[in-house]
């Protein structure tokens, strides 16, 4: 058997045919200077463009390149998981294929690993995102860290390096609703950061739609926070407080102005409010039950149709 490579680069791909050649060229240029063995594992997550054809061509031209191709689109986190499952290196680096995670940062991340850090996060100092995405992300991470027992680093994505021992532990976590940023942080190994300015996307458009971001955010909140369950306490206290205010107002108004209230009007409003609250909690309970249902089915996280290793 051949000796395993020292480094594994895990890169999910979804409709990125315009970026793959340039990305692989930059990786090859950077990694060749280290004069150490490495592998690049691309995971084709059911791309609808010619990404798979490009990957087949890269495998023929570059002995360090491997790829997995899914039978359909299983999602970014599943693609990352597949790459991690197949990585053989002592240090494993995950990154996106849109050239917004610059390969030029790899030597600095590797140097931090050689200093003894088991997790190295690439932290974004500046990012060229829309106003909405930037500030919703800021609010989300503040909320998540406030109510979660696990402190997930801010301004980091899935561009990170993990040691082999971290990966071995991570591979034992097979939950279906995956949020790898939280899962890596939960493991609690020694970590550090490498800061960078995230460049704008060169080619194509982002495949991380608002729906996908919302789904990932929901996985983070429900997997690493009990905030939704605590909302019942907050809403209950708020309802009691509003009810007491109404009661005090009515008593004072009756004593001072001899006002007579038609109670059905108040009851109609109060019942409407409580109906809305009940629907909210039914939705939250449904989310948790749905996740329990998905876990008990124990389906595979992904299905590989083609691979080249």
Residue-level pLDDT, tens digit, the chain, 309 residues: 578 999 999 999 999 999 999 999 999 999 999 999 999 999 999 999 999 999 999 999 999 999 999 999 999 999 999 999 999 999 999 999 999 999 999 999 999 999 999 999 999 887 656 666 666 666 666 666 666 667 888 888 899 999 999 999 999 998 887 889 889 999 999 999 999 988 776 666 665 566 666 666 666 666 666 566 666 667 767 776 777 777 777 778 778 888 777 777 667 667 767 777 777 777 777 677 767 766 776 778 889 999 888
Parallel/antiparallel/unpaired status of strands 7-13 and 38-44:
parallel
CATH topology of domain 7-211+303-308: Spore Coat Polysaccharide Biosynthesis Protein SpsA; Chain A (3.90.550)
Closest CA to 38 of 93, 79, 80, 120: 93
Domain borders along the chain are: 7-211+303-308, 227-297
Cα 11 from Cα 304, distance rounded (Å): 15
The per-residue pLDDT for 135 is 60
Residue 77 has which token pair? Answer: 């986190």
Rg of the Cα trace of the chain? 25
């Amino acid at each position: 058997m051949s000796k395993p490579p020292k480094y594994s680069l895990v890169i999910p791909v979804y409709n990125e045919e315009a970026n793959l050649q340039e990305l692989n060229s930059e990786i090859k240029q950077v990694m060749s200077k280290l004069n150490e063995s490495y592998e690049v594992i691309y995971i084709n997550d059911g791309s609808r463009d010619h990404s798979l054809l490009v990957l087949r061509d890269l495998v023929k031209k570059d002995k360090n390149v491997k790829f997995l191709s899914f039978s359909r689109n299983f999602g970014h986190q599943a693609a990352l998981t597949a790459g991690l499952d197949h990585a053989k290196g002592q240090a494993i680096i995950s990154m996106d294929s849109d050239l917004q995670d610059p390969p030029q940062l790899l030597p600095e991340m590797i140097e931090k690993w050689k200093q003894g850090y088991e997790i190295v996060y690439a932290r974004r100092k500046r990012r060229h995102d829309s106003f909405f995405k930037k500030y919703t992300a800021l609010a989300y991470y503040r909320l998540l860290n406030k109510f979660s027992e696990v402190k997930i680093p801010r301004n980091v994505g899935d561009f990170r390096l993990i040691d082999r021992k971290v990966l071995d532990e991570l591979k034992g976590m097979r939950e279906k609703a995956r949020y790898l940023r939280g899962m890596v942080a939960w493991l609690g190994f020694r970590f550090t950061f490498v800061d960078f300015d995230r460049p704008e996307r060169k080619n194509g458009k982002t495949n991380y739609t608002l729906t996908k971001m919302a789904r990932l955010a929901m996985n983070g909140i429900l997997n690493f926070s009990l905030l939704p369950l605590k909302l019942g306490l907050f809403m209950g206290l708020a309802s009691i407080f509003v009810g007491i205010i109404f009661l005090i107002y009515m008593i004072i108004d009756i004593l001072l102005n001899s006002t007579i209230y038609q109670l059905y009007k108040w009851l109609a409003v109060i019942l409407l409010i409580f109906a809305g609250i009940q629907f909210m909690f039914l939705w939250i309970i449904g989310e948790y039950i749905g996740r329990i249902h998905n876990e008990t089915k124990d389906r595979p996280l992904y299905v590989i149709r083609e691979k080249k290793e």
